[in-house]
Structures are given as C-alpha cells and as structure tokens.
Amino acid sequence: MPANASGHSVPVYGNYHGYYSKRPFIRDPRLALLPTEFFVGKRVLDIGCNEGWVTCEIGQFRGARQVVGVDIDNTLIRAAWRRRRTVWGLQSPEDGNISDESCPLPDRQPLLGDATTPDNSAHNYFPASCEHSYGPLPIPDRGCGAFPHNVTFRTVDWVKDKIPEDYNQYDIILGFSISKWIHLNNKDEGLQEFFCRVHQCLKIGGVFVLEPQPWDTYSKARRMSETLKENAKNLQLRPDGFGELLENLGFSHGQRLGVTGKGGFCRPVDFYVKQR
C-alpha cells in the first residue's frame, strides 16, 4: 500500500485500518435491511471485508452455511481472523455447537430489534476482559457448519484473481463500500469486469447486494494518489448507471432496499437477482 510524505500508509483501495471505529455498530444496519431469513443455509461472499465484522456477523447470527471474506490487504485479513477468534471467545460454550458434527443449521437467526429477539447475552457470555487477561479461547478443529467453522478469509484482489470457493458459485455476494475503489483503481473497464465476475460466480437466482458510493465522494478519494487522480479523469460510468450495466449482464432491475448511515456513510443499498 502506498505511503504518504509522513510515511503512513494511504488506503488507495479503500482498505482503511480502524474502519469500524469510524463506522461503529453492534449489528450492521445494512444487513438489517435484508429479510431475517435471507442468509440461512446460503453460501456468501463478502468482497472487501476489511476486518471481518460483517462477515462474522453473517456467520454467527444469520445462519449462513459458508461465508468467505476477501480483501486486498493482508493486514486487514489477519485482523479479520482475530475478529473471528474474538467473537467466538465471547459467546457461551453452548453456542459453539462443537460436540456434534451433524448439528443442523438454525431455522432462524433473530436480529437485534426483532420483536421476538431473545436476550443476546449468549453471544456476549464472556466479557472482553477475559481475553485481555487470559488470552483467546482456542477454536476446536472439529465442529459442524456453525460459527466459527462456517467463516473463512482470504487475501486476494478478487477483481482480478479467482479463489477456490468461486468454482461452486455463491447464493449471495456482498459489495459494501467497494464500488468507488474498484472504479478508481481499475477504470471503467475494471468495474465492468468486476460486475461480470460477480455475475459468473453467482448461481441462477443468486443475489448481488451492492452499496454504491455516490459520485460526489470520488473527488476526495482520487486525491489519495496520482494514479487515482489520472484514472478519474477518464471515467465515463457513474454510480447512477450501475443498475443498467447489471441488467445488461442478466440481473433483474435493481431494488433499493433503503439508505443507511450518517454523514459520509449515508448511502443506498441495492438488491439485484441473477436471472440468466
């Protein structure tokens, strides 16, 4: 990752370290826009997963069969593995589901704020001070497809490179807060190739959930490096036109699920279904 004049790394790929200190949440509001049953039993790819907070939330609370988080920054991926271990260490032993490899997926993983949501103490059974004082709990080698065994991470530039999990195709692909960075680094052609990759790696009927960053946010990002600045001069595509690109590839007309966040993080979340 390039460094600025003071020697600090510049997040030219949107790979902000400490991202979740800027966008704090207990449960991610973008996920809250999706139906409660949305991830149950599904294979999920989280592109640009950063430190893995969303990836782990889907694996722990949403009943996904498999969740793969990918990011271009290996330091963030190492932090994501630590996040997985930390979240595992906070939950009660009964939540681990490690005694029976044939244990079934949960019928429903309730969300914070649901009228039927039970006490969430099981997922915060041990205080964080336990890990600070005694170190993390080890994750057993054996276990069924429940959290944390259903969550993995990989360091990869997914726009350009394939990973083994891609070949089985996914039920759901998430693109949260990444379209601007892919666009600025890879130009119009690279963004189109990214959308093609998403289409290829989804099953028919699979879903692409996209959080497109507005065009007016590009101006600050392109000042991070000369490469981004030069690439931005020739961009013809605009976020408002991403839906048309996806429809041309074989996705349904996009559905806007809502808008979440505050300030610079106030963005829409769109939903596309692969039809052909």
21 has pLDDT over 80: no
- The full set of domain ranges for the chain reads 31-84+147-273
Mean of all residue pLDDT scores within the chain: 86
Domain 31-84+147-273 has CATH 3.40.50.150: yes
Q: Which two tokens stand for residue 105?
A: 């997926």
pLDDT tens digits, one per residue of 169-196: 999 999 999 999 999 999 999 999 999 9
Confidence band for 19, pLDDT divided at 50, 70 and 90: confident
Per-residue pLDDT, 109: 39
Shortest CA distance to 194 belongs to which of 49, 78, 69, 48?
48
pLDDT band at 95 (very low <50, low <70, confident <90, very high): low
**Which of 103, 107, 193 shows the shortest CA–CA distance to 143?**
103
pLDDT at residue number 144: 67
Quote the pLDDT of residue 122: 73
Q: Please name the amino acid found at residue 274.
A: K
Top-confidence residue, 164 or 110: 164
Residue 160 CB contacts under 8 Å (≥ 6 apart), including other chains: none
Strand order in the sheet with 151-155: 151-155, 66-71, 43-47, 170-176, 202-211, 267-273, 255-260
